[in-house]
Amino acid sequence: MPDLSNIQILYTALHRTGNPEMDEPLTLSAGLADLSDAESAFALKQLISGAFKNPESWVLTPEKNETDDIIQSILANPRDLYLQSVRLAELWHQQVTKAQGKPGDLFVCFLTHVMHGYREMNGVAVFFSSVKDRFIKTVWNENRSGVENHTGIPVKNMELGALILDNGEEQNPVFLQEQGKNPLGMVWKSDLLQVKPAVDEYNQTQHVLKMTREFVTKEMPEEFPVSRTESIDLLSRSLEYFKNNEQFDKNEFAETVFEEPRIIDSFLKYDEDYSSYNNMPAAESFEIASQAVKRQARIFKSVLKLDKNFHVYIHGNHNQIEKGVDPDGRKFYKLYFNEEG
């Protein structure tokens, strides 16, 4: 995740992308935005530095991707930012029109002093806002006061954004920003930017955890008789493996979690299919990213919900739980334990 606390904004271009069906044409600025006002420049910096908190990284696909060509041109020659921003605004205007989205302001900024992975880098921030908040400005003239009504972009909530860093390598890391469930979010990510997940420790860790959860909760019950408590136990063991190891080894993981050869073979086959479908190479080993583990742990449910009366938290060893039905037809679970906490 990049550190934007000390960024400098060298160049900024701002254009208004519209929607012809809403009588909003594309309005291109005549030049770079004026940031000579210190307060305005600080507000823009605050907007950028407060975004991009998601550590998940992406890369721009270079094949037939005009946005990638635009960004590479800016990184290579920042003084061309205005000309390249016009190309990007025209491209985004087309996408908004196709998606029947709202008109808004498109910003393109060239940044320096971005910290990422203990390295200082340059970067390009591209962001779009169609949301305007109303605020009141107080006006004083000697001892007389008044208020003025204004609308503007909230500096704490970037609607849609992308931060592309120049790491000097073939593929530059991209970090995305989306405020809530934006109707233009998929258009922004898939059509304008054309990004795919980066192959790094964070995404690999997240990918395997998501894939394992899908296998245990959806695929496995179709092939093997598995109870709810067994599923919870498998999810718990999967998570414990990632918490207790620094390095992931696929075969070791499969044997540790699933044990039975038939289930292991099914898991490995599912991994290949799932990885191919999600455009993520199936890795044999990688360094485990603790941030991704913490994030995925929130959705690894280890709770057995019984009607509305009981929630049983299971953290391993499903053999200490028995399920049954009494003579009156009532379902029950029998729990075995050594010590009462």
- In tens, the pLDDT along 65-80 reads 999 999 999 999 999 9
Q: Is residue 12, in this structure, part of any structural domain at all?
A: yes
The alpha carbon of residue 188 and the mean position of all alpha carbons in its chain are separated, in whole angstroms, by 13
Scored b (16 or more CB within 10 A) or e, 56-81 reads bbbbbeeeebebbebbbbbbeebeeb
Between 162 and 199, residue with greater pLDDT = 162
- 137-160 pLDDT, tens digit each: 888 888 888 888 878 888 888 999
Q: Is residue 99, in this structure, part of any structural domain at all?
A: yes
Q: Is residue 1, in this structure, part of any structural domain at all?
A: no
* 165 and 22, same domain (yes or no): yes
* 187 and 253, same domain (yes or no): no
Helix, strand or coil for residue 31? coil
Q: How far apart are the first and last CA of the chain?
A: 39
Last residue of a domain, one of 197, 212, 235: 197
* 209 and 320, same domain (yes or no): yes
* 178 and 313, same domain (yes or no): no
- 7-20 pLDDT, tens digit each: 999 999 999 998 77
Q: Is residue 3, in this structure, part of any structural domain at all?
A: no
Q: How many domains does the chain have?
A: 2
Compute CA distances 235 → 5, 30, 232, 242, 269, whole Å: 38, 57, 5, 11, 18
* 209 and 185, same domain (yes or no): no
* 37 and 167, same domain (yes or no): yes
* 80 and 47, same domain (yes or no): yes
Q: Is residue 241, in this structure, part of any structural domain at all?
A: yes
Q: Is residue 233, in this structure, part of any structural domain at all?
A: yes
Residue 162 has pLDDT above 60, yes or no: yes
* 18 and 53, same domain (yes or no): yes
Last residue of a domain, one of 154, 170, 197: 197
- 77-136 pLDDT, tens digit each: 999 999 999 999 999 999 988 888 888 999 999 999 999 988 999 999 999 998 888 878
Q: Is residue 340, in this structure, part of any structural domain at all?
A: no
Q: Output the six-digit token pair for 9.
A: 């904004």
Q: Whole-angstrom Cα distance, residue 92 to residue 103?
A: 11
Q: Helices (H), strands (E): how many in the chain?
A: 10, 15
Q: Output the six-digit token pair for 129.
A: 């806002």
Q: Output the six-digit token pair for 225.
A: 């008789």
Quick one: pLDDT at residue 333? 61
Q: What is the mean pLDDT of the chain?
A: 87
* 61 and 178, same domain (yes or no): yes
**Domain around 223:** 201-335
Q: Is residue 116, in this structure, part of any structural domain at all?
A: yes
pLDDT band (50, 70, 90) for residue 310: low
Quick one: pLDDT at residue 48? 96
* 109 and 214, same domain (yes or no): no
Last residue of a domain, one of 169, 197, 225: 197
* 219 and 322, same domain (yes or no): yes
* 193 and 291, same domain (yes or no): no
CA atoms within 13 A on the CB side of 30: 1
Q: Whole-angstrom Cα distance, residue 309 to residue 304?
A: 11
pTM of the entire predicted model: 0.80
